[in-house]
Structure 1
Amino acid sequence: MKKWKAIAVVTASICLLGQSAVWAAAPAVSVKPKAETDAVASGDDAADDPAIWVHPKNKAKSRIIATNKGGGLLVYDLDGKQLYSYTTGKMNNIDVRYDFPLGKGKKVDIAAATNRTTNTIDIFAIDKDTGALENISGTPIVSLMPEVYGFALYHSLRTDKYYALVLGKEGEFEQYELSAGTDGKVNGTLVRSFSLASQSEGIVADDEYGVMYIAEEDAAIWKYDAEPGGGSTPLAKVDSADGNHLTADIEGLTIYYGEDGDGYLIASSQGNSTYAVYERGGDNEYETSFQIVDHKGVDGVTGTDGIDVLSFGLGSNYPKGIFVAQDDENLQNGEVINQNFKLVDWEEIADEADLDTDNDIDPRELEKRDRD
């Protein structure tokens, strides 16, 4: 884990009621992007959420699959070049899992996303050579909430079942068990639902620990049991949107898997354009924050929605892993153009923020381990 801890600065002031202390938030360290994706075709607030897919044979051919709220899904290579575009509806959040059992001994990698046009969860098979997508949704998984919003996948290492985790604009949560039909399509069965107090979008599941994290945008990050029988009461509050480590809105969440249960939970603090890093295990202790700044023609990142991270090396450009962030205001030669995603070498983040790099966790080989 982190080799040192930042020491908070205490500012004391004397007032009529006595002495009071104000804790100042530690400043975010600056990291430089290595690349950026092509801009999305739609204007305004369109790019939203990325998911990193690892190629089974050539890690440098891994892909970034991203949502375009203006009407579809996009697939990029690691240089940021757009390879595929799919007109599927107003897609909001996306996630990826590996080796989903599609029946008759066939396993496929899947990407799944919330579709706000049809108010459904859409499932896609990922071509294991090219990263191209094929819709394998069966009977439409239509949400009971008025408008689907946040999304994550969860693969239970306890039961080997796969789940879709969905959030709504009013804080609604639904969990669907995914299963393959005899036609090779994927269906969903509602197995749990509850509500948070206010709008929530960011959500991520830690498959190894069996927990999920939900970002209630103006309030806090909450930790829940990810199993369908986990109930509606949080296990813990990770942190609050109080302007210290997190400034509302709290947006995207992602998990950096480390060796022996180590690693990080990372959150997009949209209100001050930084990313807060927490220990993945235990009480999710706060580690540090970082921001992405201008570098060699690639502009810095502001107002991020979705993020994703991978601890696994993806070729010579990203030998220690990669971090991907949506950029709310994409600049080119000083002019604002359509939004895109920024790519950062994890080694750059680790060096500047004093975080781990000695991890090489292939998401395809993530094993169940007993955790306290």
Structure 2
Amino acid sequence: MRKIVISCLLTFFMVFHSFTGVVEGRPESRSPKPLHVEVTADAETEPVESEEDAADDPAIWVHPTDSEKSLLIGTDKKKGLNIYNLEGKQVNSVDLGRINNVDVRYNFPLGEKKVDIVAGTNRTTNTIDIFSISQTGKLKNIAAHPIQADMTEVYGFSLYQSRRSGDFYAMVVGKQGEFEQYRLYDNGKGRVKGKKVREFKLGSKAEGMVVDDEYGYLYIAEEEVAIWKYDAEPNGDREPTIVDRADGNHLHADIEGLTLYYGAKGKGYLIASSQGDNSYAIYDRKGKNKYIGNFRIVDGDKTDGTEETDGIDVIGFGLGDAYPYGLFIAQDGQNRENGRIANQNFKMVRWETIAESFCPELWTDDAVNPRTLTKRKR
């Protein structure tokens, strides 16, 4: 308790001084600067096989019956997909081409059964590739044929299951800011097809993207500009609202990965990779996405910290003894082993480590299974 009180007092002191200054003996108002708390990683994945800038985007897949057997899926954007267990050991890899971003969803109706799907953007073929995933991490291509995007080059990606219609969608954003949304469905022969149902264009390059399945909101990170919030439904309002700008305050360009922490009763957080200052900005998931704070992953006893992060993912569901309240995973653009630069990898942090670093503490629970999300009133 004493440690928590001291931490809160220090937080208050720092935040207070971020609001006020002194100019010629007079108080001066200015925009509050974010408080960057620091955490260390609990584990890391094995490095990707490809050298230089190769690892990019992670996704967390939750095992249907034993959460300790859940898996991490990471892109090697020069080669394909890697599958890791919760200890960071690689258990499978698939050579697919330049897979850039990846996402997962659960219980997709295919034939007479339901399957969990893994999908991502393939820059080698300019397609959306779709797979089912087994309980041991094996991927099977289930696309009737690769979904060919109409944009110049596919880049960012997210899946979405509407809690309003039940439909599944693939969301794709291109290097020139193009956005395309595809409804995914069974072609009647046990294979997945995609039909484009919406498109629009942002002003510049965007990559980071995440969809809140419960509230039905789509978030896109226009790298040097802002995080935008859209209606995720194909017939929804197309005029976005702004969450925050890359103005050097909370966010430093490039804005890269986006992810969502699902909390009980519709609570939770939107998290963004602020690549320009090697930090992660946290916003309230509800309402107008109020800014909460930033954190960094720094060097620790078990792993080095993270720098120049691209993709991120988070889950609040308990994943066994190692991650009882879920975990946050981030790509590390400057991975080091024994003080030397190594191939890139992904760092893993217990969610409660992050939550307890803030004052007041962030929401922590282990009850929201991503397999059983529900519709929320906006």
Fold shared by both chains (TM-score > 0.5): yes
Question: What amino acid is aligned across from residue 146 of structure 1 in structure 2?
Answer: T
1:9 equivalent in structure 2 = 19
The more displaced of 224-233 and 150-159 is 224-233
Would you say 1:142 and 2:148 are equivalent positions?
yes
Per-residue Cα deviation, 1:288-328 (whole angstroms, up to 9, x for no partner): 11000111140000110000000000000000110000000
Instruction: Map Cα deviations across residues 21-48 of structure 1 (whole Å, 9 max, x no partner).
Output: 4335123100110000000000011000
**Equivalent position to 1:168, from 174, 177, 198:** 174
In structure 1, the residue matched to 2:341 is 336
In the alignment, residue 128 of structure 2 is paired with which amino acid? I
Output aligned runs, 1:140-289, within 5 Å: 140-234=146-240, 236-289=241-294
Tell me the distance in 2 between the aligned counterparts of 1:195 and 1:26: 31
Deviations 1:12-70 (A, max 9, x none): 546xxx99643351231001100000000000110000000000111110000111111
User: Is contact 1:13-1:21 (8 Å) kept?
Assistant: no
Q: 3-state SS of the aligned residue for 2:356?
A: helix
Distance 1:273 1:126 in 2: 32
Match of 1:43 among 42, 47, 51: 51
- Residue 179 of structure 1 aligns with an amino acid whose one-letter code is Y
Alpha-carbon distance, 1:183 to partner: 2.4
Q: What SS class does the counterpart of residue 364 from structure 1 fall into?
A: helix
TM-score by length of 2: 0.93
Q: 2:31 aligns to what SS in structure 1?
A: strand
The DSSP-based 3-state class of the residue aligned with 2:30 is strand
Q: 1:140 Cα shift?
A: 2.0
Size of the aligned set, in residue pairs, is: 364
> TM-score, structure 1 length as denominator?
0.95
- Is 1:54 matched up with 2:62? yes
Q: Aligned partners of 2:346, 2:109: CA distance in 1, in Å?
A: 31
Q: Determine if contact 2:43/2:302 at 8 Å carries over to the other structure.
A: no
Distance in 1 between residues matched to 2:141 and 2:237, nearest whole Å: 31
Q: How far off is 1:71 after superposition?
A: 1.1
2:128 is matched with which residue: 117, 121, 127?
A: 121
Find the counterpart in structure 2 of residue 31 from structure 1. 39
- 291, 315, 318: which one aligns with 2:320: 315
Asked if structure 1 preserves the Cα contact closer than 8 Å seen for 2:19 and 2:29, the reply is: no
The question of 1:112 aligning with 2:122 is answered no
One-letter amino acid matched to 1:9: F
Aligned equivalents of 2:291, 2:70: Cα separation in 1: 30
Task: Say whether the 8 Å CA contact 2:332–2:346 is kept in structure 1.
Answer: yes
Q: Is the 8 A contact 2:324 2:366 kept in 1?
A: no
- Evaluate the alpha carbon distance shift between residue 49 and residue 23 of structure 1 in structure 2; reply closer, same or farther with a 3 A threshold: same
Report the Cα distance in structure 1 between the residues aligned to 2:117 and 2:302, rounded to whole angstroms: 34
1:367–1:232 CA distance, 2 compared to 1 (3 A): closer
Is the Cα–Cα contact under 8 Å of residues 9 and 26 in structure 1 kept in the other structure? no
Mark the runs of 5 or more structure 1 residues left unpaired by the alignment.
Answer: none
Q: Deviation digits for residues 144-169 of structure 1, max 9, x if unmatched?
A: 00100000001000000000000000
Query: Does the 8 Å contact 2:21/2:27 carry over to 1?
Result: no
- Among 355, 366, 374, which residue is 1:350 paired with? 355
- Contact persistence 1:94–1:112 (CA under 8 A): yes
In 2, Cα distance between the equivalents of 1:115 and 1:130? 23
**Superposition deviation, residue 102 in structure 1:** 0.5
Task: For 1:331 and 1:308, locate their aligned partners in 2 and report how far apart those are by CA, in whole Å.
Answer: 21
Give the match's secondary structure for 1:23: coil
Deviates more, 1:256-265 or 1:360-369: 360-369
Distance 1:12 1:152 in 2: 46
The 8 Å contact of residues 214 and 222 in structure 1, kept in 2 or not, is answered as yes
Equivalent of residue 71 in structure 2, options 52, 63, 75: 63
Tell me if structure 2 keeps the 8 A contact 1:62–1:131.
no
Aligned-partner Cα distance in 1 for 2:157–2:63: 23
Q: 1:84 aligns with which of 92, 103, 118?
A: 92
Q: What whole-Å deviation, never above 9, does each CA across 1:99-118 have from its counterpart, x for those lacking one? A: 000122x1000010000000
Q: SS state of the match for residue 68, structure 2?
A: helix
Structure 1's 24 and 101: CA in aligned 2 closer, same or farther, altered over 3 A? same
In structure 2, the gaps of 5 or more residues are 1-7
Aligned-pair distance for 1:181? 1.5
